[in-house]
Structure 1
Amino acid sequence: MQISTSLSTTNEIEHGTAKFYQHVLNALNSSGVPYLVGGAYAFHHYTGIIRDTKDLDLFIRRRDFDLISAALHESGYRTELTYPHWLGKLFFNGDFIDLIFSSGNGVAEVDDAWFDFAPQVDMLGVPVRLSPPEEMIWSKSFIMERERFDGADIAHLLRTCAEQLDWQRMLRRFDAHWRILLCHVILFGFIYADERELIPAWVVDELLDRLRVDTHAAQAECRICFGTLLSREQFLPDIMQWGYRDARLFPHGHMSEQDTVTWTDAIKNKR
């Protein structure tokens, strides 16, 4: 696995922003509330790829949001619960940090296991722990918007991490959504044709066996669209016009009706 010796230096990001990140990370370490560094910084650590980013992604458990907010308020920062099903934000002088406790589709919820397998590294001179590569792959695998597709990130993570991944845990993470993992495994074999063996053969066999069984099984009776787990916008006609049930909602998903409305309204705000 390729790793960097340090996630970032003050030469790679603006000095004021670096100081902001350092202060926040030290404040969180002093609070004792667990968090993980993810996003571009974790991606750099695992792949060696440097990506210009305008913010810092911290992954937390939903139940810890109020504790983290209180700790940061004591240090002079303002937080907001931007999307109750997904993330909050921390603001300071034009910079911000995302406090993430799930994925936008409600699937990849941050739980205790994220912390059980998180490696410790140094970032800007501060000891931090990273989101594990298994959980990064899991959460990124569902991002297939018109304006953003994280398939290349998955391929790069698999290229550098595949031989060290806990594939049993990966299969448990994807659970009923194993077809998404199969899609990325197939794409990896296309992208890196001479490195296909990095994906264990038993993983490919397991996923193909599931596909074979599922192909010959009886079809589901209810009309449900799982496309909303991949894109919050592109499958809205299926839900709003064509009578499909939204897989983000109970019993298939973890989002409430209000969560989906808020998440859909955010499309206009982003534009």
Structure 2
Amino acid sequence: MLEPIATALNVGTAERDPAVFYRHVLHILNGSRIPYLVGGAWAFNQHTTINRSTKDLDLFIRRRDFDAIADLMRESGYDAELTFPHWLGKIHCGGIYIDLIFSSGNAIAEVDDAWFEHAREAEVLGMPVRISPVEEMIWSKAFIMERERYDGADVLHLLRECGPRLDWGRLFRRFESHWRVLLSHLVLFGFAYPGDRHIVPVAVMDELVERLRKETHSDAPAQGVCLGTLLSREQFLSDVERQGLRDGRVKPLGNMTPEDTQSWTEAIKDDHEPQ
């Protein structure tokens, strides 16, 4: 039986050693039986053995579980907020926090049941957890191409380390109409690791290259659309705001509402402010 859940940590203690805060929240969640997955740098290390510093802990959850987790954290003495309704919440302990992620900033990589079906068990910070599947990590990271953050190197490292055991069919289905994004990373993989390009199945490359060939020889869409906003929330704003192209994130093209895109755009200035 799990020991009783304690109240929130002393803020000063948590800020001096964030890992204490992280472990406490993991303990609370493990006791609650609410499903969650560890992602971010911690899962990246589990999949690749590459270590790097991180300022927070990323937990991936289903959107329908957010309210229950937020209530549980408040009952335990922490602050919880729905930061961006289309993809992100946070648990706060003074100046440190844990991200509760249920989609991606572009609302493409929604956390669904398959994330949990294909997750694997691991140990993070001495706690028993489950980590995000590598296929879903590649899918969500493949679209992060901001000026200040580009996750393409992460994608290539995940492909190199985990490619031989990837579920390529599921990965392929995850990208669906965004197959060009997958192709772009696979082309770069062969450039970065020419001796390892055999890791990508020939059938996958043949299918993607054939799609590219057919699309290249077909007529371009009549409507002016910018899908670049799926890659960067900032770098393609001029195409939408001044050139009048349709924003590929907004329904029915994407999964976001105009209100979602407005709040996500307004947050750019906050992320650029000195910390």
Q: Name the structure 1 match of 2:181.
A: 180
- Unpaired runs of at least 5, structure 1: 1-12
Q: Is the 8 A contact 1:137 1:157 kept in 2?
A: yes
CA distance in 1, matches of 2:126, 2:96: 20
Instruction: Map 1:1-271 onto structure 2 (within 5 A).
Output: 16-271=17-272
Offset at 1:16? 2.8
Distance in 2 between residues matched to 1:139 and 1:176, nearest whole Å:
15
Contact 1:28/1:72, CA 8 A, preserved across alignment: no
- Give the drift of 1:74: 1.8
| Deviation of the 1:248 alpha carbon | 0.2
- What do residues 131-189 of structure 1 show as CA deviations (whole Å, max 9, x unaligned)? 10000000000011111111100010001000111010011100000000000000000
Report % sequence identity.
Answer: 59
Q: What count of residue pairs does the alignment treat as equivalent?
A: 259
Partner-residue secondary structure (3-state), 1:34: coil
Answer whether contact 2:19 2:125 (CA < 8 A) is retained.
yes
Change (3 A) 1:132 1:176: same
8 A Cα contact 1:108 1:138, kept in partner: yes
Cα distance in structure 1, aligned partners of 2:23 and 2:127: 7
Paired AA for residue 240 in structure 2: I
| Conservation of the 8 A alpha-carbon contact between 2:40 and 2:58 | yes
In 1, are the aligned partners of 2:15 and 2:96 still within 8 Å (CA)? Answer: no
- Amino acid paired to 2:143: F
How many Å separate the matches in 1 of 2:58 and 2:40?
5
Q: Given residue 59 of structure 2, which amino acid in structure 1 is its aligned partner?
A: L
Question: Which amino acid is the alignment partner of residue 36 of structure 1?
Answer: L
Structure 1 residues 124 and 263, CA gap change in structure 2 (3 angstroms) = same
Contact 1:140 1:150 in 2 (8 A): yes
Q: CA deviation at 1:15?
A: 7.0
3-state SS in 1 of match to 2:103: coil
- The TM-score normalised by the length of structure 1 is 0.93
CA distance in structure 2 between the partners assigned to 1:116 and 1:270 by the alignment: 34
- Deviating beyond 2 angstroms after TM superposition, the runs of 4 or more aligned structure 1 residues are 13-16
Question: TM-score normalised to the size of structure 2?
Answer: 0.92
SS in 1 for 2:91: strand
Check whether the contact 2:120–2:130 (CA below 8 A) recurs between aligned residues: yes
